[in-house]
Structure 1
Amino acid sequence: MRFRKLQNTVKGEQMAARKKREQKFTREMQIKLMAIFAFILLLLVILNFLIAYINAKSGDQYAKVVLSQQTYDSKTIPYRRGEILDRNGNVLAKSDKVYNVVLDCKVINSSEDYIEPTIRALTQVFGLEEADVRNRISSEETKDSQYQIVKYGITLEEKQAYEDYTDLSEDRSLTQAQREELENVQGIWFEEDYVRSYPMDSVACTVLGFSNSLNDGIFGLEAYYDDVLNGVDGREYGYLNSDRELQENIIDPQNGNNVVSTIDVNIQQVVEKYIAQLEEENKNGPQESTQGHASKNTAVIVADPNTGEILAMATDKSFDLNDPQDLSSWYTEKELAAMTDEEKSEALNEMWYNFCVSEAFEVGSTYKPIVVASALDSGSITTSFGVTCNGYLQPVAEEDAIGCTGIHGEESLGDVLKNSCNPGMMTIGMDMGVETFCEYQDIFGFGKRTGIDLPNENSGSLHGVNKMGIMELCTSSFGQGFTATMVQELAAFCAVVNGGYYYKPHVVKQILDEDNSVVSNIEPLLLSQPISTKTSYQLREYLELVVSEGTATDAQIAGYDIGGKTGTAEKLPRGNGKYVISYIAAAPIDDPQVVVYAVIDEPNIENQEDGSYTKNLVKNIMQEILPYMGIYPTGELTEEEEQSLGMQVDTQPQTEMEVQYVYDEWGNLMYDETTWEPLTELVPVEVTESGYEADNVYGNVTPPEQSDDGTVDENWADGASQEELIYDDAG
């Protein structure tokens, strides 16, 4: 019974719940829902009427506002990227204003009368293809566009030609038909822009670098000083005021600053001329790896040793900065056609590569003056140092002996440098010891970047105290076993010869604003004094011996006292016949004003150890730039030597003063009216190999004696013989 009652109870509850659920959505609720839906629908209808009313009453006004915003809100006024100048104010890089021709296709298509006159104007003035212009105007993709650039970078003259073409001024003689034609030229406007140009084409290309169309510096000064050269774009805003008049608000652009480099374009051009000459003379050498070129790499730096300013920097990888993608000077058309995109990119990077700052190599014997200076300054040796060269030295019993260029016998310290003696240098290195040697490498800036204001500077590679053994110490003493860049070696050598002062090398000396007012001066930065002035003066004497008596005698320049050091470094792997040759020189050595450093990597010659090529390169450059820099010879010179230096030789004939008689314009002798003595005067007479050459037609003719009555025949000269007369060009 209980179980049956429980079942009945459960069933009753389930039926009640089901009935309750069925009665939840009542009729009253349905009425409310319908009322809400009707209310929302009414609101939508009212809103639709409001939109229609606004559109009918003020649609044009709002359309103009929108169009104004579309036309002016996004209009940018470009800034002008700053110029790069040489130290004398010559422009090396500049940005020229140009104009892009822009079509408003929507305006052109707004009337059939506009289309043909506008197309004719574009084709006649700008030389555009009619089919291309017509397609741009009528194409579904562009016919409603208000911004279609049809020609980039036209000049101001081209823009003016268009304005002259469409000129409707009253004083222009036009027929009615012509005026109607020009009035219908619509939808053409000009957008200002700037294009980067390099007036001297390839001059200083690896130093300057270039920038792209987005004003991004790619490398060189263009990249390093990108933020300085770039400015800030201006903006032009447009809006309609309450009277529906178009108002403009212009924010002017901030142009970039100008960069004044330390480069002297005249010295730069001399350097590049002699690199090109070397290239031409040796491009057909015997080395297969460098066929068509004088070397794998050739580079030269000219610097002021007293400031660290770089006066010239060039490599053999010359290219036109106005067309930096052109590889035709380095590859044939066939080679270029076979290149993949990746290969072409690698070829471009190799051409743009600045060997002077980015390539670390074993510098060789040009490092020896730095070692000698370090040894003297540290007290490891004295000027009385002496050594015996037997042609080789075996620093470590278990290792092979290291040879020398010859058997030099007894040598003084100056002789070691003069002869570029490896055993002598190894002895000096061992006298210094590993710790002192490494200390002075650091003091002279090796193993770390100099901080030159050019991108991609290499720091080189050193052994360091913990990894340098006796063998490494000995090879490092003559410039092998570690790597450095040209700019590191240059900066260290300058400190050796300038009195012992290490200046930070730099390529920019001043920043100017767009009005050429000085923003900042970049003064020479003295970083340290690695050696004493006394040691520096001593090294000058040794380096002068190298040129006057040693390995660089063929680099002498008549009348000048020059100090220098040759260098030859065998490349890895040893024994493969590949060398880097170099020569660095300072002039005048008693008070250095300029240092020239040349490096040739794998010269295209039979014997790559032949250092005459770098010596001749530096000699040719110095002979031309020294007189230009106001550095004149101090010794006696022959006429031929003066001419070889580009000096003006006085070839004018010598003159002497001679007493001559005075004659009137008819050739008659003139007399003093009181004494009746013939008048005389001092006349300059040229001295020729055949004797005197008189300026006066009668100059060498002796007048006759006076007669008894004191008179002289005024026509005496008429009877003179040809032998008695000396005629000038007019006689």
Structure 2
Amino acid sequence: MTTTYRIRVLQVIIPLITFIVVTRLFYWQVIRGDDLSARAASQHNSVVTLTARRGQILSSDESILAGVETRFLLYAYRPQLEASSQEIVQKVAPIIASTPDLATSSAEILPTPEEKLAAAKELLEQKLNSDRSWIALKHHLTREQRQAIEDLDIKGLGFDEQIVRFYPEASMSAHLLGFVGQNQQGEPQGYFGLEGYYDRQLQGRGGRLQQETDAFGNPILVGDYTSYSSLDGRTLLTSINRSLQYQIEKLLHQALLKYGAVQASAIVMEPTTGAVIALANAPQYDPRIFYKFDPNLHKNPAIADLFEPGSIFKPIVMAAAIDAGVVSPETKCDSTCDQAVSINQYTIKTWNDQYHPGTTMTEVIINSDNTGMIFAARRLGKDSFLDYINRFGFSQATGIDLQEEITPKQKQINDFKDIDLATSSFGQGIAITRIQMLAAANVIANQGIWVQPHIVQQIKDGDKLISLPTPKTQQVISPETATLVTQMMVEAVDESTVRWNRPEGIKVAGKTGTAQIPVSGHYDEDKTIASFIGFAPAENPKFTMLVTLREPTSSPWGSETAAPLWFDIANLLLLAL
């Protein structure tokens, strides 16, 4: 091989090698530069996430309905473990199995202590069989449990702090509060109730601590250090009266047993402000262990379930007819009230198949006369009827500050037939929510003004108060109409069997209701929703309240089930407010 040949080979190889080196350098420094810089930084920088504390939810007296507390994650670091897996299981399992679950009668059957111990042993054995160096053994341990495990002096076991939601009253106010679960990214998120509606206000903002470390992960004292503080969530101060909420929930649970009902609800609000004093349902669930309950229980029936109101709807229709000037309390019914009303293939009767020719509109409310309501609705007409339905708020959500409120879809004039006008006049064939019904009845209690129901009174961010939108209001009927209908409702109480439940010396404006439940396109003759709606004292009401019982078996009638329950609660309210 000649010298000239070698030189030519080198002349080819050297540029080729140079090109390859330059290309690789360009690739690593330009194309992959940012990625490699980030990897290098991650190898000598540690980042610690600072968790924000979720805001509290308080009752009107600032008692905690939903708060936060520090719990602990128990972990094992295998390189430092000196005890055997079997020894850890035998010593630690009894401690982590010692915390009882809080629950109500609607929860699953709770395990016995023996079953809980067996489950704890199985959990630890499964975790310790992992070949990982760092193993999470048990979340959400209490301080007492942490101390008990530390007293065992097992090297290689450690703890990390965890901030968790807790509910001091267990199941109380569950449908109001909702619960905190995890989203798809594994981060805490509020669902249902106030937790869901105000999630962004409650969750705060997490912080971050970033510092430069050496090859062993130890902080470099003169290295870079960056800190972003966490911002704790805001606190909600509600209008809920904690004592009344507790007592009402207790009465609802007793009513389920007493009347053989499958579900009970009660909503109480201040007539002039719209502030909700209590909102209770039975059965309910424990928000701390929500996953142990039927998911259908998570919905709040007061805002997320539709029902046909039945006769408690009659004062609304009567108020519309009086306000429109087509009837007065003294107006007498025509032949419509002489007998059952036939509309096409349908026959509409009164609830007791008794008829009152020439009955007045006040007597129609007292006797809960379906035919008399048809007379009033016909006088009103379809257009005006639907207009008042909209004005009373039945075609839109109330806007109450709870997640999951639904908006019923009401029929429009083109689809609203004669039979629809007739049945809607006495509260059948129209689907609404309980909170809509309460807000509409409150119009009569509040001098004809609709006011938006709401629960949160103030939002606190540390020492600062966050302004809230003023609840919406609307004049629906005249004050004069409201006064007339109030008197009709007072007489409906005074002239019926429910008068025996009335508090002595207090005038109560109210109306019972018994509505059949639609099932698969027809009404079930054996299943009803019994209800009572009203306010007291009638002249200057302190509260407006709706009580409903679904499928009571002791009696289908609202006068014999929902009304006594309403008055039991009213006695509490009149003493407390």
**Normalising by the residue count of structure 1, what TM-score does the alignment of the two structures yield?**
0.65
Change (3 A) 1:134 1:481: closer
Match of 2:481 in 1: 535
8 A contact 1:98–1:195 mirrored in 2: yes
2:191 aligned with 1:193, yes or no?
no
8 A contact 2:252–2:264 mirrored in 1: yes
8 A contact 2:240–2:276 mirrored in 1: yes
- Secondary structure in 2 aligned to 1:324? helix
Change (3 A) 1:468 1:138: closer
8 A contact 1:509–1:522 mirrored in 2: no
8 A contact 2:46–2:213 mirrored in 1: no
* Aligned-pair CA distance for 1:92: 0.8
Change (3 A) 1:70 1:296: farther
* Aligned-pair CA distance for 1:620: 0.9
Mean alpha-carbon deviation: is it higher for 188-197 or for 417-426? 188-197
2: CA distance, partners of 1:577 / 1:433: 32
- Secondary structure in 2 aligned to 1:429? helix
Question: Superposition pairs for residues 136-155 of structure 1, below 5 Å?
Answer: 141-143=131-133, 147-155=134-142
Q: Identify the match of residue 82 of structure 1 among 46, 55, 60.
A: 55
Change (3 A) 1:365 1:32: same
Q: CA-to-partner distance for each residue in 1:333-361, whole Å, 9 max, x for gaps?
A: xxxxxxxxxxxxxxx22222211111112
* Aligned-pair CA distance for 1:583: 0.6
* Aligned-pair CA distance for 1:229: 0.5
Larger Rg: 1
Change (3 A) 1:391 1:360: farther
* Aligned-pair CA distance for 1:477: 1.0
* Aligned-pair CA distance for 1:71: 8.4
Question: Superposition pairs for residues 307-318 of structure 1, below 5 Å?
Answer: 307-318=273-284
Change (3 A) 1:428 1:135: closer
Q: Identify the match of residue 231 of structure 2 among 244, 254, 261.
A: 254
Change (3 A) 1:136 1:115: farther
Change (3 A) 1:401 1:209: closer
Match of 1:476 in 2: 424
Which letter maps to 1:414?
Answer: T
Change (3 A) 1:418 1:150: same
8 A contact 1:501–1:526 mirrored in 2: no
Q: CA-to-partner distance for each residue in 1:312-341, whole Å, 9 max, x for gaps?
A: 1122222222222334xxxxxxxxxxxxxx
Match of 2:205 in 1: 232
User: Percent same amino acid at aligned positions?
Assistant: 26
Match of 1:267 in 2: 244
2:508 aligned with 1:518, yes or no?
no
Which letter maps to 1:412?
Answer: T
- Secondary structure in 1 aligned to 2:291? coil
Which letter maps to 2:12?
Answer: L
2: CA distance, partners of 1:118 / 1:71: 34
- Secondary structure in 2 aligned to 1:447? coil
Match of 2:534 in 1: 585
Which letter maps to 1:544?
Answer: V
Q: CA-to-partner distance for each residue in 1:64-116, whole Å, 9 max, x for gaps?
A: x999955863321111111111111111111112232445556x3xxxxx746
Which letter maps to 1:612?
Answer: E
Question: Superposition pairs for residues 286-301 of structure 1, below 5 Å?
Answer: 294-301=260-267
2: CA distance, partners of 1:476 / 1:119: 70
2:290 aligned with 1:324, yes or no?
yes
Change (3 A) 1:537 1:237: same
8 A contact 1:94–1:198 mirrored in 2: yes
Change (3 A) 1:536 1:418: same
2: CA distance, partners of 1:90 / 1:447: 36
Change (3 A) 1:297 1:148: same
* Aligned-pair CA distance for 1:309: 1.3
1: CA distance, partners of 2:48 / 2:257: 52
Question: Superposition pairs for residues 60-79 of structure 1, below 5 Å?
Answer: 69=42, 73-79=46-52
Change (3 A) 1:70 1:232: farther
Change (3 A) 1:511 1:279: same
* Aligned-pair CA distance for 1:263: 1.4
1: CA distance, partners of 2:271 / 2:347: 39
Question: Superposition pairs for residues 22-61 of structure 1, below 5 Å?
Answer: 29-36=8-15
Match of 1:408 in 2: 356
- Secondary structure in 2 aligned to 1:410? coil
Q: CA-to-partner distance for each residue in 1:164-220, whole Å, 9 max, x for gaps?
A: 898xxxxxxxxxxxxxxx9xx5x6654332111110001011111111253211211
* Aligned-pair CA distance for 1:297: 2.6
Change (3 A) 1:27 1:532: same
Question: Superposition pairs for residues 491-640 of structure 1, below 5 Å?
Answer: 491-513=439-461, 515=462, 517-521=464-468, 523=470, 525-550=471-496, 552-572=498-518, 573-574=522-523, 576-605=525-554, 607-609=555-557, 611-629=559-577
* Aligned-pair CA distance for 1:458: 2.2
Which letter maps to 2:526?
Answer: G
* Aligned-pair CA distance for 1:399: 4.2
More relative contact order, 1 or 2 (CA 8 Å, 6+ apart): 2
| Residue segments in structure 1 that go unaligned for 5+ positions in a row | 1-25, 48-64, 109-113, 167-181, 283-293, 328-347, 630-731
8 A contact 2:127–2:136 mirrored in 1: no
Change (3 A) 1:536 1:35: closer
Aligned-residue Cα RMSD (Å) equals: 3.6
Change (3 A) 1:576 1:232: same
Change (3 A) 1:387 1:90: same
Change (3 A) 1:391 1:29: farther
Q: CA-to-partner distance for each residue in 1:5-33, whole Å, 9 max, x for gaps?
A: xxxxxxxxxxxxxxxxxxxxx88754533
Q: CA-to-partner distance for each residue in 1:640-698, whole Å, 9 max, x for gaps?
A: xxxxxxxxxxxxxxxxxxxxxxxxxxxxxxxxxxxxxxxxxxxxxxxxxxxxxxxxxxx
Which letter maps to 2:502?
Answer: Q
* Aligned-pair CA distance for 1:468: 1.6
Which letter maps to 1:142?
Answer: R
2:257 aligned with 1:280, yes or no?
yes
* Aligned-pair CA distance for 1:527: 2.2
